[in-house]
Structure 1
Amino acid sequence: MIIGSNGGGRSYVAGPGGVVYRTRTASLDEPELDRVADDLQQFLELLERSLTRFVANGELGYL
């Protein structure tokens, strides 16, 4: 299930068991996925840290 997008073509997908993956390309036909979090809670914590870093100094975070 797609749970989000970075606005640049990459999507975030929740897989079986709650693991969150990020697509490597914009295509979902045969997506290549990278694991980014063990579950939705960890994903949201990483997202919060990334947003906080960006607001504070313009640096892109992990996501």
Structure 2
Amino acid sequence: MVIGSNGGGLYYVTGPDGSVRRTRTASLDEPELDRVADDLREFLKLLEQSLTQFVANGDPGRL
């Protein structure tokens, strides 16, 4: 299930195991996925850290 996008064409999706993954390309047709978090709670924590870092110094972090 798609839960978000980075605004640049990459998607964040959840799988049956609850992990959050990011597409490597802007296509959802046979996507290659990279794991970014073990679950939605961890993903939201990473998102908060990335936003805080971006506001502080313009660096978007790892998400």
TM-score (norm 2): 0.97
Runs of 4+ more than 2 Å apart: none
**Structure 1 residues without counterparts, runs of 5 or longer:** none
Match of 2:47 in 1: 47
> What is the identity percentage for the equivalent residue pairs of Structure 1 and Structure 2?
76
Amino acid at match of 1:2: V
**Structure 2 residues without counterparts, runs of 5 or longer:** none
Shift of 1:14: 0.4
Distance 1:10 1:55 in 2: 21
Shift of 1:58: 0.4
Shift of 1:60: 1.6
Distance 2:59 2:21 in 1: 22
Aligned residues: 63
Distance 1:56 1:2 in 2: 29
Shift of 1:55: 0.4
| RMSD of aligned Cα (Å) | 0.5
Match of 1:38 in 2: 38
SS at 1:36 equivalent: strand
TM-score (norm 1): 0.97
After superposition, the C-alpha distances for 1:18-38 in whole angstroms (9 at most, x for unaligned) are 100000000001100000000
